[in-house]
Amino acid sequence: MSSAEQNLKSYAPPLWSVALVGNPNCGKTALFNLLTGARQKVANYAGVTVERKAGQARLRDGRLVSVIDLPGAYSLTPATPDEQVTLEFIEGRRAGEAAPDAIVAVVDATNLRMNLRLVLELKRLGRPMLVALNMADVAREQGLVIDVAKLSAELGCAVVETVAVKHDGHLRLLAQLETQLATASSTPAAELHAVSAAPAQLQQEVRRILAAAVVQPARFQRFHHRIDTWVMHPVWGLAILAAVLFLIFQAVFSWANLPMDAIKAGMAGLGEWVTAHMAEGPLRSLLVDGVLAGAGGVLVFLPQILILFFFILLLEDSGYLPRAAFLLDRLMGTVGLSGRAFIPLLSSFACAIPGIMATRTIANWRDRLATIMVAPLMTCSARLPVYALLIGAFVPERSVGWFNLRGLTLFGLYVAGVVSAMAVAWLFKRLWMKSRYQPLMLELPPYRVPGLRNLVLGLAERARIFLRRVGGIIFALMVVLWFLSSYPAPPEGATGPAIQYSIAGWLGQALQHVFAPIGFNWQISIALVPGLAAREVAVGALGTVYALSAAGEGLADSLTPVIAQGWSLATAYSLLAWYVFAPQCISTLAVVKRETNSWRYPLLMAAYLFVLAYAAAFVTYRVTLWLGG
């Protein structure tokens, strides 16, 4: 054992730590995932990571190293809140956190001209450093010849090639970390190159290094230029975008039938089995009416959610998204949103929480706030079960020309969310905070064939999150709701279903006064209460409430036919309209509080969304009734 190692042993914890620093979209997170086995989000556009994440990597000799993934930064002069995180962290200025022991500067080997500037800036900090020359595979394909030894000599630190999308693409980096760790305690801070921070001089230095260490291929015609003439065309581009989104919603309905039927049949079978094998009593009712009808009713929507995410992941990894942002920039500019808002808003289709966090890539505070305020109007995946349930019950399975009518309706609901977000943003900027339109500056990544590994991991992650919600918060709320719906038990000689005499029944009747004008019955009114915590709970809650209100015999084995018979079309449409707007997600409000650092904005958000929801449901209900619904 070397003396250096003994030295390290003697001050064992905290672990030796390295931070991954580099330009946006150079593959830091992909590398982080490889090194630590984490599953952080990787996607082909700038600004995916907005928070620092820590993990541990095991070196080949068994020692552990702490690895920190950071948001990408173009330079050490931060322009946006996410870049700020990076700078503060590597300088050790974040409260309660020590600066990393070494920096791994991750660079995109195919874009050294831009990436090396940051490396030179990092170098000036004088900290132990090594360079991971990532995307070595793509560089080789492009015919780029990089003399690693020369580059290392020029930069004055170790340089290793990595391929963050291959399972063994990080081995050289691991080996280098091991070497560096062995000498860590004996190495003084790296010697400083006399490089000035002035941008022009940095650029000159980069050019000099490139000339010495890199042989550019003779004219490389990027194939994405040819695709872009179509995809970014002002007319064809929009048509392609509309077609892509449209196809996704078609697929959500037409592909999901088979697996959904299978899950439904499984749940129904399980319910029958429990009913047959358990004595009648509260426990059986809890299992069948509470858990299976409630949480099981939500589980059915797993296939649709996975299909939606399959497409979102494909789009994210292909490099298409920033291009769509450019296409829509003008449109978004007219309502006062920045083109940079596109990706946060698109992420909000999955869930408003990462969407709101992604607004950290927007430098202008007013633009950022406007984006945060409208993010919950994007249809998050938790609304999908509610939409799907109501559409399944009220919209006939029919095709209109080439299209599936249900898919069409779903598409319409998503469009309603987007259009109202635009309208609210417009009003918001008009009434409250004017800021001038700023043209969009966004890096266009090269197109990439989406990696299977990333896709599979991403889907597994979504499934895990959904199942955890079903098994966690949804399950817990269902049990509470079952309890509230079953007790107190009905008095002797009561005739109606037991739930009418319970606490929940009583609550539902009271709330119905508020909701009657928009056409909600007492069952819906009850379901909205636990649905406040998380949207899809409302579906489970309806399952439980209806299972318990079907007195005795007619146990609702599936919710769809029950509501198809019991509700008017006007009620169903009104509930859909309510769901397009209502702020039924406590976690979203909590994140808004955190990101804006004040209670003012989440409260304002909740208020305006409730008013909007009530108004929209009211109008929808009245108009549908008037039309004879």
The residues that touch ligand GTP, with contacts defined as CB under 6 A, are: 22, 24-30, 42-44, 46-49, 71-72, 134-135, 137-138, 163-165, 169, 317, 448, 451, 454
Q: In sequence order, which residues have a C-beta less than 8 Å from that of residue 130 and are 6 or more positions away?
A: 102, 103, 104, 105, 157, 158, 159, 160, 176, 177, 180
Residue 611: closest CA among 434, 424, 355, 430: 424
Separation of alpha carbons 428 and 228, rounded Å: 34
Q: What's the min distance (Å) between Cβ of 158 and ligand GTP?
A: 18
Tallying the residues shown for the chain, one arrives at 629
**Binding partner of residue 161 among Mg ion, ligand GTP, none, CB cut-off 5 to 8 Å per kind:** none
**Residue 473 CA to its chain's centroid (Å):** 19
Q: What's the min distance (Å) between Cβ of 360 and Mg ion?
A: 13
**Binding partner of residue 43 among Mg ion, ligand GTP, none, CB cut-off 5 to 8 Å per kind:** ligand GTP
Separation of alpha carbons 512 and 507, rounded Å: 8
**Binding partner of residue 454 among Mg ion, ligand GTP, none, CB cut-off 5 to 8 Å per kind:** ligand GTP
Separation of alpha carbons 197 and 192, rounded Å: 13
Alpha helices by DSSP H, 359-494:
365-374, 383-394, 405-431, 452-469, 475-486
Using the minimum distance from each CB to Mg ion, give the nearer residue, 29 or 404: 29
Tell me the two tokens of residue 278.
């358990």
**Binding status of residue 454 toward Mg ion by CB under 5 A:** no
Using the minimum distance from each CB to Mg ion, give the nearer residue, 22 or 237: 22
Q: In sequence order, which residues have a C-beta less than 8 Å from that of residue 379 and are 6 or more positions away?
A: 349, 387, 413, 414, 417, 580
Q: Which residue has the tokens 């109007």?
A: 377
**Binding partner of residue 542 among Mg ion, ligand GTP, none, CB cut-off 5 to 8 Å per kind:** none
**Residue 368 CA to its chain's centroid (Å):** 17
Q: What's the min distance (Å) between Cβ of 106 and Mg ion?
A: 10
Q: What's the min distance (Å) between Cβ of 86 and Mg ion?
A: 11
Using the minimum distance from each CB to Mg ion, give the nearer residue, 48 or 103: 48
> Cβ atoms within 10 A of the Cβ of 413, count?
20
Q: Where are the beta strands (DSSP E) in 115-209?
A: 129-134, 145-146, 158-161
**Binding partner of residue 504 among Mg ion, ligand GTP, none, CB cut-off 5 to 8 Å per kind:** none
Helix (H, G, I), strand (E, B) or coil at 17: strand
CA angle 584, 590, 594 (to 5 degrees): 150
Q: What's the min distance (Å) between Cβ of 70 and Mg ion?
A: 8
Q: How many residues bind Mg ion (CB under 5 A)?
A: 4
Using the minimum distance from each CB to ligand GTP, give the nearer residue, 94 or 453: 453
Separation of alpha carbons 441 and 607, rounded Å: 34
**Binding status of residue 165 toward Mg ion by CB under 5 A:** no
Q: What's the min distance (Å) between Cβ of 448 and ligand GTP?
A: 5
Using the minimum distance from each CB to ligand GTP, give the nearer residue, 166 or 622: 166
Residues 464-503 binding Mg ion (CB under 5 A) are none
Separation of alpha carbons 318 and 258, rounded Å: 28
Using the minimum distance from each CB to Mg ion, give the nearer residue, 48 or 252: 48
Using the minimum distance from each CB to ligand GTP, give the nearer residue, 360 or 406: 360
**Binding partner of residue 407 among ligand GTP, Mg ion, none, CB cut-off 5 to 8 Å per kind:** none
**Binding partner of residue 285 among ligand GTP, Mg ion, none, CB cut-off 5 to 8 Å per kind:** none
Q: What's the min distance (Å) between Cβ of 166 and ligand GTP?
A: 7
Q: Which residue has the tokens 């490089």?
A: 195
Q: What's the min distance (Å) between Cβ of 360 and ligand GTP?
A: 11
Q: What's the min distance (Å) between Cβ of 387 and ligand GTP?
A: 30
Choosing from 49, 361, 500, 560, the residue that interacts with Mg ion (CB under 5 A) is: 49
Tell me the two tokens of residue 592.
């808004």
**Binding status of residue 48 toward Mg ion by CB under 5 A:** yes
Tell me the two tokens of residue 470.
């079903």
Choosing from 29, 111, 361, 485, the residue that interacts with Mg ion (CB under 5 A) is: 29
Helices 236-254 and 302-318: angle between axes, nearest 10 degrees: 150
- Give the residue at shortest CB distance from ligand GTP: 72
Using the minimum distance from each CB to Mg ion, give the nearer residue, 48 or 575: 48
**Binding partner of residue 606 among ligand GTP, Mg ion, none, CB cut-off 5 to 8 Å per kind:** none
Q: What's the min distance (Å) between Cβ of 342 and ligand GTP?
A: 15
Q: What's the min distance (Å) between Cβ of 331 and ligand GTP?
A: 24
Separation of alpha carbons 40 and 72, rounded Å: 14
**Binding partner of residue 250 among ligand GTP, Mg ion, none, CB cut-off 5 to 8 Å per kind:** none
Q: In sequence order, which residues have a C-beta less than 8 Å from that of residue 385 and are 6 or more positions away?
A: 298, 300, 301, 304, 535, 536, 539
* Binding window for Mg ion (CB under 5 A); candidates: 40-48, 243-251, 516-524, 614-622: 40-48
Q: What's the min distance (Å) between Cβ of 49 and Mg ion?
A: 3
Q: In sequence order, which residues have a C-beta less than 8 Å from that of residue 160 and are 6 or more positions away?
A: 130, 131, 132, 133, 148, 172, 173, 175, 176
Strand partners, 109: none
**Binding partner of residue 147 among Mg ion, ligand GTP, none, CB cut-off 5 to 8 Å per kind:** none
Q: Which residues bind Mg ion (CB under 5 A)?
A: 28-29, 48-49
